[in-house]
Amino acid sequence: MLTIRQLRYLDALARCQHFGRAAEECAVSQPALSMQIRELEEFLGIDLFERRPGAPVLTEAGIEIAQRAGAILSATRDLVDLAHHRAKTLSGTLRLGVIPTLAPYLLPHVLPRLQQEHPDLRLELLETLTKGLLAELGRGTLDVLLLALPVDAPEFETTHLLVDRFLLAVPADDPLPDNARVTPRDVDTRRLILLEEGHCLREHALDFCAKARINSNASLGATSLATIMQMVACGYGVTLVPEVAVDVELRDNRVKLLRFAEPQPSRGIGLAWRRTSPRKADFALLGQMVVSAVNGPGPRRTH
């Protein structure tokens, strides 16, 4: 008889590639997990793992089965969540994933209000790159993501919340006048500093300034916008700053921000969740909060 427990152990083992660690993750002894995996293999009539001395490695069939097991586990989590959170919006535990180029700028506005207006909500946060967030979302270990659109995955739904324009940050002594409308060409003639590989903001910037690609200097190893702004302040180059980050990052008068001429580069910001998620009402509310958090604290700075 197939059991959910077997699928859970399979899922853990597929990820850990190690019986002992998988057992630990499942909070059972290693033999217990071993037995269940064996029974599963017996029931299915196929080997899921090659028992190699080093690490157990999934067979081809095992990969497919493990993937389906993951999907089933995700569906069961949603079922249980639905039962627990039915009707009471924004209560219980909500696991939110946010990309690094949004979290420091949006969360400080959203979290306090969320705490205040929904005291029975326990928010768990994960900040990492889009790719990682999507994986966690699919596994069901995250409920909803706050990220840059579009999300190209049919199993997820998204809503658009706002458009976040990019501004060009240049050293204060740059010859461009303060009220200039810059173009990709202006970027092209300067050294463009970008976040390290994997940040979607980096991709957005490169999409817009394709010609500037050769000028971007990855060896500088910038891992946060704050660091990049420091680099700009010191005259190492220029960068694209998302509008949402301006309030936080523009504390240094050695940097000035310039608007782009139309079409202005921008990114869409929105939420993403599993199409099957039972908490869509929660997400709608959360989305409203993010929007009003951005628009709320005074008129937005544009320049």
Partner DNA sequence: TAAAAATACTCCATAGGTATTTTAT
Partner DNA sequence: ATAAAATACCTATGGAGTATTTTTA
Tally of CB atoms within 10 A around 115: 11
Nearer to DNA, 36 or 101 (CB): 36
Whether the Cβ atoms of residue 37 and residue 13 lie closer than 8 Å to each other: yes
Nearer to DNA, 50 or 155 (CB): 50
Residue of 228, 151, 154 lying closest to 192 (CA atoms): 228
Q: For residue 296, which phi and psi values (nearest 5 degrees)? A: -65, -55
Beta carbon of residue 81, minimum distance to DNA (angstroms, whole number): 21
Structure letter (DSSP) for residue 222: B
CA–CA dist 155, 160 (Å, integer): 17
CA–CA dist 269, 218 (Å, integer): 25
Whether the Cβ atoms of residue 76 and residue 6 lie closer than 8 Å to each other: no
Candidates 2-10, 15-23, 167-175, 264-272; binding stretch for its own copies (CB under 8 A): 2-10
The residue within the footprint of its own copies, chosen from 16, 26, 58, 71 (CB under 8 A), is: 71
Give residues with Cβ within 8 angstroms of 154, minimum separation 6.
Answer: 275
And the tokens for 253?
Answer: 């008068």
The residue within the footprint of its own copies, chosen from 14, 26, 33, 65 (CB under 8 A), is: 65
CA–CA dist 90, 185 (Å, integer): 47
Beta carbon of residue 59, minimum distance to its own copies (angstroms, whole number): 10
Output the CA torsion sign for 10, 14, 16, 20: positive
**Pattern of binders to its own copies over 273-292, x per CB under 8 A?**
---x-x--------------
Beta carbon of residue 2, minimum distance to its own copies (angstroms, whole number): 6
Peptide bond into 263 cis (omega under 30): yes
64 in contact with its own copies (CB under 8 A): yes
Question: Which of the listed partners (DNA, its own copies, none) does 80 bind, with a CB threshold of 5 to 8 Å by partner kind?
Answer: its own copies
Whether the Cβ atoms of residue 89 and residue 120 lie closer than 8 Å to each other: no
Peptide bond into 177 cis (omega under 30): no
Question: Which of the listed partners (its own copies, DNA, none) does 31 bind, with a CB threshold of 5 to 8 Å by partner kind?
Answer: DNA
Give residues with Cβ within 8 angstroms of 32, minimum separation 6.
Answer: 23
Beta carbon of residue 24, minimum distance to its own copies (angstroms, whole number): 19
61 in contact with its own copies (CB under 8 A): yes
The residue within the footprint of DNA, chosen from 51, 68, 86, 301 (CB under 7 A), is: 51
Output the CA torsion sign for 289, 290, 291, 296: positive
**Pattern of binders to DNA over 11-40, x per CB under 7 A?**
-------xxx------xxxxxx-xxxxxx-
**Pattern of binders to its own copies over 73-102, x per CB under 8 A?**
--xx-xxx-xxx-x----------------
113 in contact with DNA (CB under 7 A): no
Question: Which of the listed partners (DNA, its own copies, none) does 239 bind, with a CB threshold of 5 to 8 Å by partner kind?
Answer: none
Beta carbon of residue 40, minimum distance to its own copies (angstroms, whole number): 9
The residue within the footprint of its own copies, chosen from 29, 38, 46, 160 (CB under 8 A), is: 46
CA–CA dist 237, 234 (Å, integer): 8
Query: Which residue ranges make up the site for DNA (CB under 7 A)?
Result: 1, 3, 5, 18-20, 27-32, 34-39, 51-56
Query: Which residue ranges make up the site for its own copies (CB under 8 A)?
Result: 1-5, 43-46, 61, 64-65, 68-69, 71-72, 75-76, 78-80, 82-84, 86, 276, 278
